[in-house]
Structure 1
């Protein structure tokens, strides 16, 4: 609002100046300028965005079945200062070429399957990402999702599909992004290790999942 007010005052003064010299100058220039900027939102992920499963003993892993690990979580927050904004998240898997198809099991799509790397060409496994306990201050938020920026929104379950899917949140019954100035929630990750028979266990095998979260203004 301050930027709009300043633009209006500048226009009034410039018009008055043009009028004062109209009798002596045959032409004059009128330039209207200004910038409307969106809210400046910052995203923060707890623990530096690192989910660490520590050391996993090779002897714990099944040779014939996939090996699900315990769910681990970290905090997610978005702060837009005092300016409410409608925004969402897109997530890109930087290890998409290494995921193991079907490793997450029932209830998950391949768009929700993120790769854990493939040292020596052997795929380590996959993991899922889920948004939980979303809120803005004292207001609880419900997840919504759309398959692309050209699609409509529908109610989600918090499971995060990779880009071009876009994820946001609503505060009421209308399935549309809520205008909020802050967001708090939990990122839950569940890793599943490949069958031991598919891994090279003659040395250490690093879990190397890497995804980027991008904040989108809507």
Structure 2
């Protein structure tokens, strides 16, 4: 008597002594998933920018109060596989924005660069700006580029506008994302505290700016 073995999920079909019809075919299923190379995004120190204690007496009553720049290293590693990828920045405290506050940092900033610093007692604490700097691969210097949504790429000075703006980097003269296996750089943050007259200085005020960095493949 003939034995037929099916390879579908390891099920064996066996014609035995019972009076049944033997199967003359079996289905072979081949499965698997092709996944893109996984890139790992990280910031030294967990991406925390700490301004420490700020005495309330040092704040100007009727003007915005810019703080010194702070930085944190940024790195993206895709193993040994060159990839084209970019970053989007999403403000998680957008409801706390103070209109016009980044004017205290000088020219070149718009409301798209304004990230909120949270609220205390219903009063808005301030804002901060983000800049990408010192972008490199292991062998070359990179230059920031950006686009809005799915629009065309254009040169950037590194000032980071919020999503839907997306940031990447070029390695040559062509304004298009470079295919690279890893990236290092610096995220520079400059915070601005609101006018003292608009804050509740009778209590501690915690700077609570939060933004998500989203890595996407291009």
TM-score (norm 2): 0.85
**Residues 1:77 and 2:75 aligned together:** yes
1:64 maps to 62
2:40 maps to 42
2:122 maps to 121
2:162 maps to 162
Specify every segment of 5 or more residues in structure 2 that has no aligned partner in the other structure, as ranges. 1-22
How far did residue 145 of structure 1 move? 0.3
1:92 maps to 90
TM-score (norm 1): 0.85
Specify every segment of 5 or more residues in structure 1 that has no aligned partner in the other structure, as ranges. 1-24
How far did residue 38 of structure 1 move? 1.2
2:101 maps to 103
2:8 maps to none
Distance across 2 between alignment mates of 1:155 and 1:27:
61
1:22 maps to none
- How many positions carry a matched residue from both structures? 193
Distance across 2 between alignment mates of 1:90 and 1:54:
27
Question: Which has a greater percent of helix?
Answer: 1
Cα distance per residue 1:19-51 (max 9 Å; x no partner): xxxxxx998868675533211100010111100
CA contact (8 A) 1:39 1:84 kept: no
